[in-house]
Chain A
Amino acid sequence: MNRATAPAIHLGNLRKRFRTTQALDGVSLDIQPGEFFGLLGPNGAGKTTLISILAGLARADTGEAAIMGYDVVRDYRHARRALGVVPQELVYDPFFNVRETLRIQSGYFGLKHNDGWIDEIMHHLDLTPHADKNTQNLSGGMKRRLLVAQALVHKPPVIVLDEPTAGVDVDLRRSLWEFISRLNREGHTVLLTTHYLEEAEALCGRIAMLKSGRVVALDATRNLLQLTNEHCAQLRLDTETVPLEWQGRLLRDAEGCWRVNFSDYEELETLLAGLRAAGARVLELHLREPDLEDVFTDIMKRT
């Protein structure tokens, strides 16, 4: 592969089996430099396994993986230097404080005098006030920030984040995304997995959906959003009962409103006509455009 034109991340027909589970079942994917890419999928879909293979934490049974044109097995030194991974598990080394952790991590990448950059990452991730705290005494969100900082000590051109916002408060989420978006604007490639689909919708230019180790959807986010024509209407009625033929379709939500999914507006007209005929009055009506969550649910159902 020509390195100058190589994708930032290349996966070629990756397969990986854990005893009885086929975690990856032939995944092929190319992510171009500078992309903000989302990898979505339900629990156990194989997202972490895919990332582990990229990072050299796991070995694929067959297939190939490369970072910036460097094969992750044959050319692991270059590949790993080009990659920063924020692991899904909240891990830390209780022997060290925040600054020591970052210095040591820099050292593993051969960087001796990295304090300038370390200070900067700590600043952007709001870790500076905690620099001398032992990692054991950090809150969960702080530990998560430290993991992000550790992944960035060597300024990797490719950044992979495995559910970085799981269990993280709104403030950190916002500042984390600001920081990561900024890195992305400056040219870093970002691969993100998350279960917060609104996050993925807002941030990712392209998205792949994984199910049982297979890619079941892969497209630009705005194209994916057009995949489904499921709309949702929320109605408040002056009655407790709805016409018989709509009872399966109309669902009561927690606020006492009725929800209905429909794919074209004629259906909605029929519904409203049916309600009028039954003597029910519509007090409120809200329409919601389909979002990534609808698309995701739809695709997972269909495949």
Chain B
Amino acid sequence: MNLPPSTPHRDASPSTGEQRLGQPGATLARGVSALFYKELLRFWKVVVQTVVAPVVTALLYLLIFSHVLEAHVQVYPGVSYTSFLVPGLVMMSMLQNAFSNSSSSLIQSKMQGNIVFVLLPPLSYLEFFLAYLGAAVIRGLIVGLGVWAVTLWYVPFQLPHPLWMLAYALLACAIMGAIGIVAGIWAEKYDQLAAFQNFLILPLTFLSGVFYSIHSLPPFWQAVSRGNPVFYLIDGFRYAFVGQSDTDPGLGLLVAGACFVAISALTLVLLKSGYKLRH
């Protein structure tokens, strides 16, 4: 058998891997990339469930709502209801799927017990965070692109502010990916995760102006909506497509950025403490 020279002896470094790798930075990059790759492979193997299904769902929303409301609702002058709806649907799909990727991966690993495979290697909590976050962002972006692509049958291509779109898409997926990590770590059973999704994520996304402008709401609910960070994500993202919005997209980006920093800090603190992962 071909064991590395003198690995196990007391006079040798036990870290053969490290000898080959040299820089600690390289270790970090490789550890992250392996976990990131595993997470991508995980959802890609069930792409029908993780990408195709949400695209179909969004398409159904589009068909039903635009059919019913197209003739009756005009939110911004010169913008058809369908054109108004599409960015909201794309954003909603990204939010839900970024969340779902990290949360369901973690809870499955915990329930099955194979979470030990990532807890035993020399991965730091930061690497752990980056890998799960990265995969969640990619899943969110792929689903978002898919939804956008199919809606191009119904609304003409239009994207006056591509950089705003990119910034909002990335931030939105990152926020939800991080919340998904927290939820996946916290939940001990699938129904706890479902509760998290039904009582927090779903209301936040639905009460955020996907299907309407908050200006059409009574003042009280308008104020509530402005306290909902998802509102800013959808509003700013829509600005990138239709050039009009309920609030300043710069302000929205600030709110979203602050949210991301806060939720990431919380996630990192939890991961560092080993909360529910290392007993």
Contact = CB atoms under 8 A, between A and B. Distances in A.
Nearest to A87: B116
A93 B115 CA distance: 9
Interface in B7-48: 7-12, 14-18, 20-21, 26-27, 30-31, 33-35, 37-38, 41-42, 45-46
B120 A95 contact: no
Interface in B99-135: 109, 112-114, 116-124
Nearest to B12: A157
Contact of A187 (B7, B109, B121): B7
Nearest to B38: A104
Contact of B30 (A80, A89, A112, A183): A112
Given A33-B9, A91-B116, A112-B30, A77 B122 contact: yes
B34 A104 contact: yes
Nearest to A76: B122
A68 B122 contact: no
Given A56-B278, A78-B15, A81-B15, A91 B112 contact: yes
B2 A56 contact: no
Contacts of B31: 107-110
B14 A57 contact: no
Contacts of B16: 81, 154-155
A158 B279 contact: no
B278 A57 contact: yes
A52 B2 contact: no
A120 B2 contact: yes
Interface in A155-171: 155-158
A52 B114 CA distance: 14
B42 to A, nearest CB: 5
Contacts of A18: 279
Contact of B33 (A57, A76, A107): A107
A109 B121 contact: yes
Contacts, number: 150
Nearest to B46: A95
Contacts of B8: 33-34, 157-158, 186-189
Interface residues of A, number: 59
Interface string A56-94: 111100000001101000001111111101010101111
A6 interface: yes
B123 A68 contact: no
Given A57-B278, A110-B17, A93 B112 contact: yes
B4 interface: yes
Contact of B1 (A79, A83, A85, A186): A186
Contact of B113 (A77, A89, A116): A89
Nearest to A105: B117
Nearest to A84: B120
Contact of B41 (A55, A87, A100, A154): A100
B7 A157 contact: yes
Nearest to B34: A107
Contacts of B243: none
Contacts of A93: 109, 112, 114, 117
B113 A91 contact: yes
| Size category, B interface | 35 or more
A80 B120 contact: yes
Given A81-B122, A91-B113, A107 B37 contact: yes
A150 B117 contact: yes
B2 A107 contact: no
A81 B121 CA distance: 7
A56 B120 contact: yes
A111 interface: yes
B279 to A, nearest CB: 5
Contacts of B122: 76-81, 108-110
A158 B109 CA distance: 26
B64 interface: no
B278 A68 contact: no
Given A4-B11, A80-B121, A80-B122, A95 B45 contact: yes
A155 B4 contact: yes
Contacts of B37: 104, 107
A83 B124 CA distance: 16
B3 interface: yes
Nearest to A93: B114
B4 to A, nearest CB: 6
B9 A95 contact: no
A92 B279 contact: no
Nearest to A80: B122
A93 to B, nearest CB: 4
A157 to B, nearest CB: 4
B123 to A, nearest CB: 6
B160 interface: no
Given A52-B279, A80-B120, 13 more contacts: A4-B10, A58-B278, A78-B18, A80-B121, A81-B16, A85-B120, A93-B114, A95-B42, A104-B117, A108-B35, A109-B121, A157-B14, A158-B8
15 contacts: A56-B120, A81-B122, A93-B112, A93-B117, A100-B41, A107-B30, A109-B31, A109-B122, A110-B26, A110-B122, A116-B2, A120-B2, A154-B17, A158-B14, A183-B3
Interface of A: 4-6, 8, 18, 33-34, 52, 55-59, 67-68, 70, 76-83, 85, 87, 89, 91-96, 100, 104-112, 116-117, 120, 124, 150, 154-158, 182-183, 186-189
